[in-house]
Amino acid sequence: MKVFFRTRKKFKTLFKSFFGKKKAKIGIYGPPNAGKTTLANRIVRDWSGEMVGQVSEIPHETRRASRKEGVTITGDNGSSVTIDIVDTPGVTTKIDYHEFEEYGLEKDDAVLRAREATEGVAEAMHWLREDIDGVIYVLDATQDPFVQVNIMMVGIIESRKLPVVIVANKIDLPDSSPARIRSAFPQHPVVSISGLEGDNVDELYEYITKNFG
Amino acid sequence: MLMLHGIQIDLISEDRLDNMTSMEKVRLILENVKEGTIVVLEKGLDPEEQSTLIEYTMMEISPDGFSGIEMETYPAKDGHEGLFTKLFGKKKGKDRRLTVIGPANQMRMLKTESDFISAFVTSR
């Protein structure tokens, strides 16, 4: 019986690979406040005219992974790819609700935000292990990229052998340094953009069409 | 009576870690760090274990209690891939190096270089 099920599974996989092309789920990962949702909104708005989520200067505005299905992106060379964009909460190893109170949130709201954020990060890690086919790893180019959570996340993505592009975001800000990000992750392609202003996003779209199909 | 306030540091050898499952390592780290102990692993966690550690850390965070972990490790050593790596795709754990993990509300990393980690720890 086991052999039957195994053989059936193999046939299903083979059939899928020939006829039923599965859409790749591309996760937008990165630390809190790197501009992940701004970038997700930019991509989805550019190609489907819709939005993925709200943005805020308070960390952990995104507290649930949200998926926008069937976004078709066309590169300059005319090739296109249809993917699901998964916007994820900022990954961190610590969340303290007092941090949110510093942004003016009342204690109850800050505690609730912290609780939702912890659930969201755990969920994002689960997605990465189970459901993601490629990663756009977003970093704020004004911040130091040599922090443990970035090193760990890139290591986890590498271990899963997922295609990854690192985005040096916020290049519209004067103290941004994409070169620092390149030196931190020389083994991966780095695309410098401003998700907010849309600067250089065409280069990212080109990369996506070539590598995330 | 004189009260002593100190910080416990547990140094866990590579041999001991090699005899533990991934979940045992994650549980050991979190149970100790939640009590305020600094845990030093002679050999760091693999990426899958790191991913699980982040996930379980998030589940343990509570308001006015545990707020997460601070963690630092030496960067992996650059080196040429040997025949073993080319054949089997494994690095035999040599890229997993000494790792320091502590409670986020008690430990701050001051400096991390390829061969040097400096941390500042306060008692609770």
Domain parsing of chain A, residue ranges: 25-92+121-211
**What residues of chain B lie within 8 A of the CB of A152, using their CB?**
47, 50, 54, 71
Query: Is residue B92 over pLDDT 70?
Result: no
pLDDT score recorded for residue B110:
79
Residue B1 inside a domain? The answer is no
CB–CB of B55 and A158 under 8 A?
A: no
Look at chain B and report how many structural domains it folds into: 1
Confidence category of residue A76, pLDDT binned at 50, 70, 90: confident
Task: Give the number of other CB atoms < 10 A from CB of residue B31.
Answer: 12
- Which pLDDT score, from 0 to 100, does residue A77 have? 77
Residue B3 lies in a domain: no
Q: Do B68 and A122 touch (CB under 8 A)?
A: no
Superfamily of domain A25-92+121-211: P-loop containing nucleotide triphosphate hydrolases (3.40.50.300)
Report the alpha-carbon angle B107-A33-A46, nearest 5.
160
**Is residue B112 in some structural domain?**
yes
Whether B42 is in a domain gets the answer yes
> Do A93 and B67 count as a contact with CB atoms less than 8 A apart?
no
Return the pLDDT at B86.
Answer: 46
The closest of B20, B29, B33, B21 to B67, measured between CA atoms, is B33
Which of chain B's residues have a Cβ under 8 Å away from the Cβ of A183?
none
Cβ-Cβ contacts under 8 Å, B73 against chain A: 148, 151
Residue type, A4: F
Lowest model confidence (mean pLDDT) among A66-80, B76-90, B105-119: B76-90
ipTM: 0.83
Name the helix (H) or strand (E) containing B9.
strand B9-12
A31 and A167 Cβ atoms separated by less than 8 Å: no
Structural domain for B50, as ranges? 9-121
What are the pLDDT digits (tens) for A114-169? 999 999 999 999 999 999 999 999 999 999 999 999 999 999 999 999 999 999 99
The arithmetic mean of pLDDT across residues B29-36, rounded, is 97
